[in-house]
């Protein structure tokens, strides 16, 4: 249904498009009050991102109930406040097509739903038809880790249940196409627990389920895999290198179920300190492990 409104500059101050009508009227030396502006119900199209240039979005002439002749005589055109014109109106066919590459991540980032709007304007009489294009996410980005490997030094005296927070992956896609799960390669010493941050992002923790033994396994290399829920499914991988430290060389404070957060090396007086934080129910204990440069040559 088409609803008719009679607008002037004072009556419709919040319509940015009315400013355009006013400019046209001034340029043509006409009074805006003489214009009869037709406002139709908003039309909404949904399309996947990354469609090829020239792909058909919709038949606006048919959807608006307009004749092709009316589009021509009314000099139908698209008006948008953006510099990039993602769409083009084919007056001779009455269709709306893709004019520029539409990247959902570039347009909206992590915001959902993602859409942009514009108006189709006709003259004599003046008509305004708002159009909204919703851009649907496609699974065109895999989860990615910032680093190629994660280095962990863990004492063989670390208690069962000790947790180690691992680096998170990032996925530019959203919804089901975004990061869904973490997977750790099968091993006897660690299990993986997935956690969710307040903002909804996911991260993983390694939990000791079997006591480490330096004499048995001094080094351990695992794979942490981040997977999304798209079709086809995409994934990202990072290697986790674990060095098991001898308990006789490291004075480790006993703790149960603490969370170990890796922090950078700090050089102090010819030794190197590796700080690890163990939060408990109410207190945070920080144990500093001092290693001689003999064991950690530059």
Q: What is the CATH number of the domain that holds 112?
A: 2.60.40.60
> What total of structural domains would you count in the chain?
2
| Residue 88 and residue 191 share a domain | no
Residue 298 domain flag: no
| Residue 241 and residue 110 share a domain | no
> Which backbone phi and psi does 72 adopt, to 5 degrees?
-70, -50
| Residue 100 and residue 16 share a domain | yes
Q: Which domain holds residue 112?
A: 2-136
Q: What is the token pair recorded at 250?
A: 């490291």
| Residue 101 and residue 13 share a domain | yes
Taking only the tens place, the pLDDT of each residue in 50-106 is: 999 999 999 999 999 999 999 999 999 999 887 678 999 999 999 999 999 999 999
Taking only the tens place, the pLDDT of each residue in 236-271 is: 999 999 999 987 654 444 444 455 555 444 444 444
| Residue 35 and residue 95 share a domain | yes
Separation CA 123–CA 192 (nearest Å): 64
Residue 81 domain flag: yes
| Residue 285 and residue 157 share a domain | yes
| Residue 168 and residue 115 share a domain | no
Q: What is the token pair recorded at 23?
A: 């400019």
Separation CA 140–CA 153 (nearest Å): 36
| Residue 151 and residue 128 share a domain | no
Residue 257 domain flag: yes
Residue 297 domain flag: no
How do 271-279 and 284-292 pair as beta strands? antiparallel
pLDDT at 273: 42
């Amino acid at each position: 249904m088409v609803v008719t409104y009679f607008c002037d500059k004072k009556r419709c101050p919040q319509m940015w498009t009315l400013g355009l009508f006013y400019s046209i009227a001034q340029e043509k030396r006409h009074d805006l009050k003489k214009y009869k502006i037709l406002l139709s119900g908003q039309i909404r199209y949904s399309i996947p991102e990354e469609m090829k240039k020239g792909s058909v979005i919709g038949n606006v002439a048919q959807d608006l109930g307009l004749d092709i002749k009316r589009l021509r005589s009314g000099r139908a055109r698209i008006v948008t406040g953006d510099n990039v014109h993602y769409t083009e109106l084919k007056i001779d066919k009455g269709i709306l097509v893709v004019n520029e590459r539409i990247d959902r991540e570039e347009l909206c980032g992590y915001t959902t739903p993602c859409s942009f709007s514009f108006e189709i304007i006709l003259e004599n009489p003046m008509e305004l038809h708002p159009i909204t294009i919703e851009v649907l996410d496609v699974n065109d980005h895999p989860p990615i880790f910032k680093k190629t490997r994660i280095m962990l030094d863990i004492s063989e005296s670390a208690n069962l249940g000790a947790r180690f927070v691992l680096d998170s992956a990032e996925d530019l896609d959203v919804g089901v196409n975004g990061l869904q799960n973490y997977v750790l390669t099968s091993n006897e010493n660690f299990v993986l627990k997935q956690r969710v941050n307040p903002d909804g992002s996911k991260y993983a923790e390694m939990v000791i389920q079997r006591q480490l033994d330096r004499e048995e396994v001094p080094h351990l290399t695992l794979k942490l895999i981040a997977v999304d829920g798209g079709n086809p499914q995409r994934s990202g991988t990072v290697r986790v290198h674990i060095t098991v430290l001898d308990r006789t060389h490291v004075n480790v404070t006993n703790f149960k179920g603490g969370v170990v957060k890796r922090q950078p090396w700090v050089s102090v007086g010819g030794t190197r300190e590796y700080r690890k934080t163990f939060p408990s129910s109410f207190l945070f204990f920080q144990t500093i492990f001092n290693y001689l440069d003999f064991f950690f040559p530059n």
